[in-house]
Structure 1
């Protein structure tokens, strides 16, 4: 509406200005023709009177007075002023050349350009000027635009040329132009109001369905999948509403199908996990008996008992992870909050996994400040997050012969958040894999063996634990440069996170080194 009103105002102003110019030019043109014709008539009448003057008259001043007096009298009745200037008026001015003029007229109303014209030419001429009147003391009392027409006559008494100036005011034309201006302003204002009303009406007809579609889309986004738009008519907006409703119906149907499928999957995982507890307990008891008695078996049977015990441990771990995932899916996971020192957590996790790291030839170190890094969190879940990150880094650490078999655990904190970052220098992550690494059972290298006995659910569980704390779990990696996983937790539960005290991209990464190089 604003743009339409601005454009309409510009157009109306342009058209109004053009009409005013045309009206003014037409009024002035008609007025000029009329006053020139009237001046010519007065001049012709004056010439006829001069022709009838007896040749015995020799007083030029008297003859000029007799010539000008009746013209001045007619001018007072017809609304124009007269100035009769004698010879030399162009040099000395009308005031000092024995001029005869209408009483109260300021002779300087005749412009100098017109005086200069009659110094070299006897042709009738006219020009625009300001007609001023004066009082007895010579003070200007009023000024109005007008037209000055000049023509020359010769007096028989001295045979010299005298110039008659007729001053016609333009007050009527000025009033007419003012009336036209007011009419145009009034019409322009009414037209703008009409345009504004029409624009508002059309805009409302167009915008109202769009606003309805926006509100319905917001309700759909909020989960109210039954919302629909009203369809009325057969125009484009009605077809848009119909298409929108069809799209919403398709989305509702697909979302419900996905929700049902997800619910079936979660129920299946939960039921299978619980149902496997009893047979696993039985198999575990039998396996423990066989494992304890393996010394009495032959070597092949003893080795089989050891493998059975190892796989039972892994199976039990997988079952525990599946039960934990089912709790997250069911929304039954809760936090047991306490003030947790992430520095102590990092040292405990590193000490517990040092044997696994030495078995792989990996060096485990902790880089932490001397002071505590506290966060209000569930210590069991935080330790599980860090343990999963550390064991994952050990699994993917580089080979010892290349000098990259090390894992560094960084810990830092500030007034608002605390973070733990696990850096390895192994195979790294390809572009796009940092977004997939937290998917359930996803592996960067499917052919790679799991030496830590992982189930493929560790990072997924860590991500759910982090989200449960209102924190971030992010991954960075480059091929042959290693990877870094960073978990960031708020210092106070429920506080929003805005930044992390540790960078996601390691300071020893090539891209960071390239940025630091001038």
Structure 2
């Protein structure tokens, strides 16, 4: 259960991170502050550590020198008849060991100097009970293979607690200095091993204090950053909500202005912009309403005189054989232009219904294969006039979808007549295909094609790729615009592809079920014989 909820939590966290500038500012400030605090803390710890160690080194070297000086004074004061060097070694080291046990340091007496290759680990040294003599570094031993002044180094002091038997391994400092025994006249080395327990505890205390202070500082910085960014982000969020309401059509929404700072002036400017947009949008809506009403009224008002003119034109057209050639030709031209005028009025009325939002669908199960064949039959005369063949490439089984058959036929008729008009004598192919979610029809011609950028402009009202080109199919310039509106009414896609000299292809994609969502089309927009596909 937790593993399934983890991706959702991560996704919600990433979404919050992308959308919240306040979270990003606080996080980045905390990260940078943490980096600065870490560097400063590390520097302070290093300085504290070096200071503690330097002070401890000075202290232990001074104490070791004092012990050595005291040992030398005792050796000078020893009776001359005492020639037992072993006893003299014990008399020398035992008092120092006893003082070391009370003062917290250990002692090793090694030597004599001059024993080639002899080391403390070989045995014979006198040392504090429980101490591991390997605590004295070999490098320091080699330094005292011959007479040398006092020297020191860091080491690890290993010992065994006499009361508990527990082994201990602590950092420490070892100081070496030499004394000469009167009994045998040879020089021996005294090693003093001082633990750094106090310094380690002090450094741990300082580290904990710095960590605590750093965490508290980061929390304080995060809180201050959150408060500061909140003062800036809150008005921005309010502006975003108001902008979303404005975009949703609530043009009366405004920002609340308080104060006289930069954000208040921004809110004032935003409100002025919203008021200006509201006025302009209302003006455009009124203008659009007037235009729609004008188109609708003109279209309706023209139908009556057009009917009268049509009746007179029909009479003249029927009697043209009795006229002289010029008058007969004029009657034929009048009939053609009246047909085009009626088509234009019908298209204008249809456009006005789309603009007014009054267009509705009357859906039924439509077989796109049958629609394609009907459109081929309907445009056969125009195709023959242009010496173009219109072919259908469709499956043997029906390709059904829920649609308004009248509008689908109008879309396809517009696409086919447009293809015939631009085919330049080549074949026009209608392809039909379908899948589980969508059905599609593609109309392919091999004529003049479309230049770059024209595939999106071709659906604009009264747009023409070549204004000087004559319309041979009697089009009004609104056919593709109406086809696009019909497609949108179905919730489908109407797309165009073209290349200059390579022809064009228009693809209509409709959902199988009315109101269904489209994800992809069963037919490619770029035809299989296009240069980029073949390459």
Q: 1:133 to 1:364 in 2, by over 3 A?
A: closer
Q: Is the Cα contact below 8 Å between 1:90 and 1:112 reproduced in 2?
A: no
**1:56 aligned onto 2:77:** no
**1:197 aligned onto 2:223:** yes
SS in 2 for 1:370: coil
SS in 2 for 1:119: coil
Query: Which of the numbers 426, 437, 458 marks the counterpart of 2:479?
Result: 458
Query: Which of the numbers 268, 272, 275 marks the counterpart of 1:249?
Result: 275
| RMSD (Å), alpha carbons | 2.4
Query: Which of the numbers 27, 37, 40 marks the counterpart of 1:12?
Result: 37
Q: 1:260 to 1:163 in 2, by over 3 A?
A: same
* Corresponding residue number in structure 2 for 1:413: 434
Query: What is the aligned residue count?
Result: 509
**1:85 aligned onto 2:110:** yes
* Corresponding residue number in structure 2 for 1:480: 501
Tell me by how many angstroms 1:27 deviates: 0.7
Counterparts of residues 272-283 of structure 1 (less than 5 Å)? 272-283=298-309
SS in 2 for 1:77: helix
* Corresponding residue number in structure 2 for 1:500: 521
Query: Which of the numbers 464, 469, 472 marks the counterpart of 2:490?
Result: 469
Q: Which moved more, 1:24-33 or 1:202-211?
A: 202-211
- C-alpha separation in 1, matches of 2:341 and 2:161: 121
Q: Is the Cα contact below 8 Å between 1:426 and 1:480 reproduced in 2?
A: yes
**1:217 aligned onto 2:238:** no
* Corresponding residue number in structure 1 for 2:344: 318
**1:269 aligned onto 2:288:** no
* Corresponding residue number in structure 2 for 1:65: 90
Tell me by how many angstroms 1:97 deviates: 5.2
Tell me by how many angstroms 1:391 deviates: 1.4
TM normalised by structure 2 equals: 0.89
* Corresponding residue number in structure 1 for 2:454: 433
Q: 1:340 to 1:26 in 2, by over 3 A?
A: same
- C-alpha separation in 1, matches of 2:372 and 2:126: 116
1:328-374 CA distances to partner (integer Å, 9 max, x unpaired)? 11111111111111111111111121112212222222222222111
Q: Is the Cα contact below 8 Å between 2:107 and 2:190 reproduced in 1?
A: yes
Q: 1:448 to 1:141 in 2, by over 3 A?
A: closer
- C-alpha separation in 2, matches of 1:506 and 1:97: 96
Q: Is the Cα contact below 8 Å between 2:147 and 2:178 reproduced in 1?
A: no
Tell me by how many angstroms 1:74 deviates: 2.6
Q: Is the Cα contact below 8 Å between 1:132 and 1:140 reproduced in 2?
A: no
Tell me by how many angstroms 1:29 deviates: 0.7
Query: Which of the numbers 66, 70, 95 marks the counterpart of 1:45?
Result: 70
Tell me by how many angstroms 1:485 deviates: 1.6
Query: Which of the numbers 416, 424, 445 marks the counterpart of 1:424?
Result: 445
**1:510 aligned onto 2:531:** yes
* Corresponding residue number in structure 2 for 1:26: 51
- C-alpha separation in 2, matches of 1:262 and 1:452: 30
**1:147 aligned onto 2:173:** yes
**1:362 aligned onto 2:388:** yes
Q: Which moved more, 1:36-45 or 1:164-173?
A: 164-173
- C-alpha separation in 2, matches of 1:244 and 1:123: 84
Q: 1:324 to 1:119 in 2, by over 3 A?
A: same
1:69-125 CA distances to partner (integer Å, 9 max, x unpaired)? 332333233222223334268855447654433333333333322222211233111
Tell me by how many angstroms 1:190 deviates: 0.9
- C-alpha separation in 2, matches of 1:493 and 1:297: 55
Q: Which moved more, 1:8-17 or 1:74-83?
A: 74-83
TM normalised by structure 1 equals: 0.91
Counterparts of residues 331-370 of structure 1 (less than 5 Å)? 331-370=357-396
* Corresponding residue number in structure 1 for 2:136: 110
1:190-245 CA distances to partner (integer Å, 9 max, x unpaired)? 11111111221222223223222322222222222233333344444344333333
- C-alpha separation in 2, matches of 1:463 and 1:212: 38
Q: Which moved more, 1:238-247 or 1:276-285?
A: 238-247
Q: Is the Cα contact below 8 Å between 2:161 and 2:168 reproduced in 1?
A: no
Q: 1:315 to 1:170 in 2, by over 3 A?
A: same
- C-alpha separation in 2, matches of 1:200 and 1:410: 61
* Corresponding residue number in structure 2 for 1:309: 335
Structure 1 gaps, min length 5:
399-403
Tell me by how many angstroms 1:272 deviates: 0.6
Q: Which moved more, 1:124-133 or 1:339-348?
A: 124-133
Q: 1:264 to 1:23 in 2, by over 3 A?
A: same
**1:444 aligned onto 2:465:** yes
Structure 2 gaps, min length 5:
1-25
